Amino acid sequence: MPLSVAVLMDPIGSIKIAKDTTFAMLLEAQRRGHALHYMEQGDLALRDGLPYARLAPLSVRDDPSAWYTMGERQWRDLREMDVVLMRKDPPVDAQFMYDTMVLDAAHRDGVQVVNNPQALRDCNEKVFALHFPQCMAPTLVARDPAELRRFVAEHGQAVLKPLDGMGGRGIFHVRAGDKNLNSMLETLLGGGPHGEGRQFTVAQKFIPQISAGDKRILLIDGEPVPYALARIPQGDEFRGNLAAGGRGVGVPLSERDRWIAAQVAPELRRRGLRFVGLDVIGDYLTEINVTSPTCARELDAQFGLNITGQLFDAIENPPA
């Protein structure tokens, strides 16, 4: 039976369709005969506690010169939709949180929201990984520069990053004794001279296996896709993120990768996190991406997969 599928995403006119997983979802939904509806952040509202959205009918084509056609936007009760794909990229700021509260009202009345809005609020992509310390390298989340300096000194090398970043932005590789460490911490922590307004910062022990790639493992309802995309740093760059110039190479999952996925999967299912990306370097989980995980199109192209087809199989047959 055809479904009404709404997507909340960043402006569709600015995406790169060859690498955009949200676009792959839309192509798959349309191929199955589902009706597509488009919205951006400014298109949500609550009217007397009921969720509304300014929705535009949407059609998509796998054509880099003209990949979408959009109709006129009209306000509609969001509960008229069967599915909402929540695919807004970070930062997970206050406005993102408010979006999830509107989507909660739809979710309570039976709309499938992928991923669950409550879980999007609760599961910061870096802190949520710490629910699984058995899978992780030593990690500290703190606002105190002295604690962060102590962590770097203890481990010799560390990676520092903000809690709300994406695409490799704001990430530093630092060694004990680095004269730039205080400047890096000032950049990440921010705040006033007495510590007021400081931002939480993540410090992780540096994992040398980053040279072999930062693997993205995609899970659908807790089941891992059998291949990961290893995002390999290029040149003098230590970051593997594709947005930072990393090269994506598909690799089969290792036994350790599958073990990590099995450790995480029950909690993902419990929270309604239906499409998730794990970041794994060497033997260690580093992040759990729940907002808008990517890499489906690259893996599809390299291995002849249809990852978003698996996702829509799950959406059409939701767990009890």
Which of these is catalytic: 87, 88, 161, 198? 161
Which of these is catalytic: 88, 198, 205, 216? 216
Residue 214: how many other CB atoms lie within 10 Å: 26
Q: Does the annotation mark 161 as catalytic?
A: yes
Q: Does the annotation mark 231 as catalytic?
A: yes
Could you tell me where the DSSP H helices lie in 20-162? 21-31, 94-108, 117-122, 145-155
Q: Does the annotation mark 40 as catalytic?
A: no
Which of these is catalytic: 88, 205, 215, 239? 239
Tokens 């007397």 sit on residue: 48
Which of these is catalytic: 20, 99, 116, 126? 126
Q: Does the annotation mark 126 as catalytic?
A: yes
Q: Does the annotation mark 48 as catalytic?
A: no
Q: Does the annotation mark 300 as catalytic?
A: no
Helix (H, G, I), strand (E, B) or coil at 287: strand
- Encoded tokens for 88: 């807004």
Which of these is catalytic: 289, 297, 298, 300? 289
- Encoded tokens for 4: 């009404």
Give me the amino acid identity at 4.
Answer: S
Cα distance between residue 160 and residue 187, in whole Å: 11
- Residue of 265, 286, 263, 285 lying closest to 275 (CA atoms): 265
Cα distance between residue 281 and residue 233, in whole Å: 12
Residue 287: how many other CB atoms lie within 10 Å: 24
Q: Does the annotation mark 255 as catalytic?
A: no
Cα distance between residue 212 and residue 124, in whole Å: 26
- Residue of 303, 135, 290 lying closest to 225 (CA atoms): 303
Q: Which residues touch 123 (CB under 8 Å, ≥6 apart)?
A: 271, 273, 288, 290
Q: Does the annotation mark 149 as catalytic?
A: no
- Residue of 191, 197, 201 lying closest to 162 (CA atoms): 201
Which of these is catalytic: 99, 257, 279, 298? 279
Which of these is catalytic: 28, 287, 298, 300? 287
Give me the amino acid identity at 254.
Answer: S
Q: Which residues touch 274 (CB under 8 Å, ≥6 apart)?
A: 114, 115, 116, 220, 221, 268, 311, 314, 315
**CB of 88 within 8 A of CB of 10?**
yes
Which of these is catalytic: 88, 198, 215, 231? 231
Residues acting as catalytic residues = 126, 161, 216, 231, 239, 279, 287, 289
